[in-house]
Structure 1
Amino acid sequence: MQKDVVYIDVEDDITAIIGKVKAAKEKVVALVPPKRIGVLQSAVNLRLLARAGTQSKKHVVLITNNQALISLASSALIPVAKNLQSKPELAEIPALSVDDDDDIIDGEQLPVGELAKTADTAPATGVPDSAISGLDIDDDDAKSARAKPPIAGAAVAKPKVKSGVKVPSFNTFRKKIFIFGGLGVLLIGFLIWAVWFAPRATLVIDARTTDKAINSEAAFGSDVTTSFDDATIKSLSQQEKDVATIEFDATGSKDVGEKATGQVKLSTQALSSTAVPAGTSLSTPNGLVFITSANATIPASTIGPGCFPTACAGSATVAVTAAASGTSYNGASGDLSGAGSGVSASLTGATAGGTEKIVKIVLQADVVKATEQLESQNSDEIKKKLAAKFGTSDVVIDSSFAKSGGDATPSPAIGQEVASGKAKLTRDTTYTMTAVSKSDLDTYLKSAAEKTLANKDEQRVYETGLAKATITEFKAGDRVGTATVSTTSQIGPKIDEAKIKDSVKGKRFGEIQADLQSIDGVNNADTKFWPFWVKTVPNDVNKIKIEFKLKDGS
C-alpha cells in the first residue's frame, strides 16, 4: 500500500499538520514527529488530527516510540508504528489504579477557608468528547486548544477500540518500495544516459561546386621535381626488348641462265695499233648486246703483196659474252657496232650457249615495304606487358608507348634468290613506356586548381580531378618528354568543420539551417538528431558529425 510520509517540524502547529494531512496524495499518511513532540502533547490536538483524517478519508499513522505520545494517540484512536517499515497498531493503555487510603484528604483537618473553597467542587474525569465537538479544525484558533490535564486522583477511562478502524500494513509497502526503488534507479540511469551520453547530431551540408578546366603542358622526367610553377612532373619509365620479325613476299625476278658466247673480229685502217678494252659493248642490228671479255689490240695497217695501192687493215679477234642470259642471244651473227671510231666488228660465227632460268629475288622496294609493315605491327601484347610493370599507384601515359631499333636486315639479302618466294625481315627493338605517380599528379593538379581560385580565404579545392585526368600528345626527348595534362577540378566554398561544430553547439534545427545557408556556396543544410527526443545539438564537439554532399553547380 502506498503512503505519504510527512515529517513534522518543531515549529509546526496543529493547523499546519492538518493541512499537510489534507494535502497528502495517498490514503495512508505517516506522521513522523520530532523528538520534542510539541503540539502533539495535547489530546485535543490529536483528536482534531484524527477527525481531520476521517473527514479527508485518510488513514493517519504516527511513527514514534514515545510512550506518552503513544498513550495520547491510543485515546484518539490513531494507530502507531515504531518505524516506517513496521506494522501500525492501536496501543492498549491500562487504567490507572487508585490508592484510596493514601489519597483521602480529611476535610476536617483543613482550615475552614479551604473547605469552603472546595465544598462544592466535584472531581473531574478525563476530557470528554464534548470538549472538541464544537471546535473547527480549519479555524486558526484551534492551535491554542490544549487538553486539560487530568485531575489528580481521577481514573483515566480505558479507550474503546472501534472494530471498524482499518489499520494499514507496511509489509506490502516494504516489498513495493524495493521494486519501485529499483525501477527508480533504472529510470535515473536512463535519464542520465539520455541527457548526457546519448545525444548525437549529424549536419548534412549540400555544397555547390564549380567546375574548372585544366589544360597544361608539362615536362616529364625521372630527374625533375613536380612543380606546377615550373611545369614539371616527375615520371618513371619501363623498357622491354624484343626481336621484331616479319615475313614478306619477294617481288623481284632474275634470269640466272647461261649467257651466249662467240668470237668477234675487230679490224681497222690505221698507221698505228688500236686498242679495244675489255668490257666494250657491241650491239647487233636487232639490239642484242655482247661484251668483250678481254682487251684487244688491233695492229697497224700493212703494205704488202696484195695490199696495193690500199694498205691491208689490221685485225684482231676477241671473245664476247652476251650482256644477259637467255636463249635470245643464241644464233647472233654479222656485223656489230660500238667497237670505236674506224673500228669494225663482226661475229666470226653464230653465238651459242645461252640458256634461260627465271628466279625470285629480293628488291630494295620489298625491304622498304616490309619495314613499314614492321613499324605498324600490332604491339598490344607488349604494350600490356609494359603497363603491367607499373604499380596501381601510377598513372600510365598511353601515348608514351614507343619502340626503337637498328636497321632492318632482310634474309636473303637484296638481289639474292628467294627459293620459296618468302623473305624475312628482322630488327632488334626496344619498347618504352612512361608513367607518373598518382601523388605527384595530384599535387600538380591541386596547384593548378588553386591558381584558379579568386579568393583563397573563401574558396577551396574539393576535387583535383585526378580520377578524370588524361595525359596526351606525349613527345619523347633526350632527357625529358612533354605532354598535355587535362582534367576538370571542382572548387567551392571553404567550410571549416571545427568552426562549424563550435558555432552550432546548443542550437536547434532552425538556427543551424539559417546560419549554414548564409555561407556562400551552401545550397542546403539539414540536421539529424539522435535519439528522437533530442532537439538541440550537444555541447560536445565529439558528438557532432559533419557530412558534405558536393553538387556540381556549374
Structure 2
Amino acid sequence: MPKKFTDIARPNGSDSKKNARNSEPEKTEKPRLQQAARATSAASLSSRIKDNVRRKANIWKKLVQGKKTLDHETEKHAARKHRVPMKALMWSGIFLFISACVYGFGLMATSVHIVITTQKQKQDQSFSIQFSKKLATATADILPLRLYEKSFQYTKTYQATGQSQEPSYVEGTVTIYNKAQRTPQVLVATTRFLSSDGKLFRLIERTIVPGYTIQNGTTTPGSIQARIRADQPGPSFAVQPTQFRLPGLAGLAKYQTIYGVSIVPFAYAATGTIPVVTEDDIQNAKQSIAQYAIDQTKQDIVSSLPDSIKLLDQALRIKVSSVAVPAKAGTKTSSFSATIQGTVALMVFDEKDITQYVQTKMSVNQSASTLVKDVVTFSYETPIVSFEQGTMTMSVHAKRELIPIVDTMMLQQKTAARTLDDLRRELLAVSGVRRVDIVVWPFWITRVPSNVDKIDIEVR
C-alpha cells in the first residue's frame, strides 16, 4: 500500500532557516518515493490479477470435470434404461411360445357348432273310426277289435259299522298257585274257574303256572297272575276276594293243589257296546266287491297284453251271477265277508292301428318338406259298443307336430369355408328355419372350416 505524504506548514521564527536548508533534499526524495509506491501498487495489482485468473481457471476446470461426470452418469442411466433384463427376455419368450402353441392348436382344432331352431306346426283332426272283432288286420276303413271274456270269483272281508248296547262282563285278576308238581302246569284259554259262591269265570289267555320249589326244606308253590272273565254278563259276578277252584281238575289230586285266589273285589263296568252288521254294511259290501271284481279282472287281462293295447271303460261288461254275504243285519261281529261270482267281457284295440290309420289320413295334405313328430296324442269320444255284434264306433281326435325337414349334410357342404355372417344369412334363408345359433372354436375365427367333418349341425 503506497504511503501518503502530507505537507507540513512552514513554521514562524527561528525554524525558517532550518527548513530552507532541508527543502532541497526533500525535493530529491519525493520522486523516488512516488516511483516506489507505483512499483508496489503494480506488483499488488499483478498479484491480484494472477489470483483472479487462477481462481477462474480452477472454476472452469471444475465445471469441465462436472460436465464430464454428468455426461458419464447420463450415459450410464441411458445404458441402464435401454438394457433389457434376461428374466424379462425369458418370460417374453415363454409367453410368445405358449401363444404360438395355442394359436396353432386352435387352428388345428377349429370347429363350428350350429343349432337350428325350426318353426314347428301343430295339426289336429277328428276321425270317426269303426272297429270289428271279425277282422284280424286293419283295412282302409275298419280296424280290428279284440274280445276277451273271463269268469271270476272273489271274496273280501269288510268291517261292521253298527253298534249294539250289551251288558258288560265282569273281569278280574287272580293269582294261580301250583302246589301239585315241580313241573309247570299249562292252562288253556277259557279254562273254567269257579268261585267259592258258585260263580263261573273263564281264563282269558293261555297261561303257564310254574311248579313249586323246595329250598332249605321249605316248599314254595309256583304262582302267576292271570285275568279271568265272567261266563255270563251282568253285575252278579262282581264277587269279593275269594278262592277259585278249577272244575276241570275235579276228581284229581291236583284239584286241591292247583287253585286261584283273588285279593281285590271284582268290579262291574258300565254297560258297553259291541259291533254289529247293518243292512247298509251288506249293500255297501256288495257294491264294493262288484267294483273290485271289475278292476281285478280288467287288470288280470290287460297285464298280459302289450302296452299298446287300449281298453275303454265303455267297452266293458260285467255279469254277476251271485253275491253272497253270510252275515245278516244285526249279527254281532266286528267283521264279515262277501263273495261274488260272475263273468267279465271287454273289447280292446291296438293304438298302433289307430296311429297308422290317422297318419295315413292326415298325410294327405302334408307338405313334402315337413316331417311328422313321432308323438301323436289321441282322445276318444262317444264310443258306441255292441257286444252282441262285436263292433264299436267312436270319434278319435288326433294331434301331432309337423317339423320342417332340414338337410344337414347339404348345409355342411354348402356352408364350408364361408364367413360366419354369410353362414347365418344362408341358414336363415332356409324354409322353416326360425333361429340360428352359432358357436365357434377358437373364438377368434371368422370363417367356417373347409373340412365338413368339423361342422356340426343340430336341428331342434
TM range (shorter): 0.3 to 0.5
Q: TM-score scaled by structure 1?
A: 0.34
Bigger proportion of residues as helix: 2
- Of structures 1 and 2, the one with the larger relative CO (CA 8 A, separation 6+) is 2
